[in-house]
């Protein structure tokens, strides 16, 4: 009886020792080295832009949270037209926005040909990115699709300024009515993505508007003379939700 009891106790002790060693090994395997945090690795490049927006898979925005985009100071915005080396751009801080209940100020907007985002696989001749920044640095980009149609007086002002510019930025400030560059209805598809040019920073809020805006064939051609193709390729969605709001 004593021999059996001693043998059982020895087996239990050995099992406990092996379990403790295994647990220590598992802990060591997954431990974090706080003295060399530069070696830490994260999940990168899984939330990039642009994407193809599949409308049937978009989820309706929740009714119990702010959803609308409200834009202010669109008329006579003071800024500067510029060819920044990879896009036609207009820099201005005059326009303000409330996006899903949070305050942003416009930094600039620029154009990509052809559109970077696609909607149900459809690509538009041009896409405008209206870049807004919050006080804490968070970025929100409102994407607008442009199609061939009637001439747009707002974009014509930018094209006229660029025609007289020499080597990039305009020599003096200009005023621009931004409102004609935006659709009347601000319904959107929203997702979390990235900048579409290096450094491709992630955690950018994207709001791709549903309703396109018209530019004339001549205006589209003039923009394409600056950059015939400056659109990034479509990136994988990787399970990110796309939220839909408004018409």
> Residue 44 CA to chain centroid, in angstroms?
15
190 is catalytic: no
- DSSP 8-state assignment for residue 62: P
Q: 105 — phi, psi (to 5°)?
A: -125, 140
For residue 25, what is the enclosing H or E element? helix 2-29
| Residue of 124, 144, 79, 86 lying closest to 105 (CA atoms) | 79
Distance (Å, rounded) from C-alpha 194 to C-alpha 127? 16
- Three-state SS for 26? helix
For residue 148, what is the enclosing H or E element? strand 139-148
Q: How many residues does the chain have?
A: 247
- DSSP 8-state assignment for residue 122: B
Distance (Å, rounded) from C-alpha 42 to C-alpha 25? 23
Distance (Å, rounded) from C-alpha 221 to C-alpha 155? 12
Distance (Å, rounded) from C-alpha 73 to C-alpha 75? 6
The tokens for 3 are 């021999």
Could you tell me the maximum CA-CA distance found in the chain, to the nearest angstrom? 104
Given the residues 30, 73, 86, 93, select the one marked as catalytic.
86
Provide the annotated active-site residues: 86
């Amino acid at each position: 009886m004593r021999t059996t009891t001693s043998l059982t106790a020895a087996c239990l002790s050995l099992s406990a020792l092996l379990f403790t060693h295994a647990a220590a090994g598992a802990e060591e395997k997954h431990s974090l080295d706080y003295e060399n945090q530069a070696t830490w690795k994260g999940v990168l490049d899984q939330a990039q832009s642009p994407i193809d927006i599949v409308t049937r898979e978009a989820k309706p925005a929740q009714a119990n949270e702010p959803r609308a985009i409200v834009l202010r100071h669109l008329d006579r915005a003071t800024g500067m037209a510029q060819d920044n080396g990879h896009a036609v751009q207009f820099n201005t801080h005059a326009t303000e926005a409330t996006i899903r209940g949070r305050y942003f100020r416009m930094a600039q907007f620029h154009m990509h040909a052809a559109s970077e985002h696609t909607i149900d696989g459809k690509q538009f001749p041009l896409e405008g990115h209206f870049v807004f920044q919050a006080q804490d640095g968070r970025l929100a980009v409102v994407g607008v699709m442009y199609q061939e149609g009637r001439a747009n007086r707002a974009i014509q002002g930018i094209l006229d300024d660029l025609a007289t510019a020499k080597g990039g930025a305009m020599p003096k400030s200009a005023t621009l009515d931004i409102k004609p560059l935006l659709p009347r209805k601000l319904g959107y598809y929203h997702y979390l993505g990235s900048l579409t040019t290096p450094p491709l920073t992630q955690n950018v809020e994207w709001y791709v508007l549903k309703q396109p805006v018209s530019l004339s064939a001549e205006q589209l051609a003039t923009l394409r003379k600056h950059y015939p193709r400056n659109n990034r390729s479509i990136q994988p969605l990787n399970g990110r939700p796309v939220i839909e709001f408004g018409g």
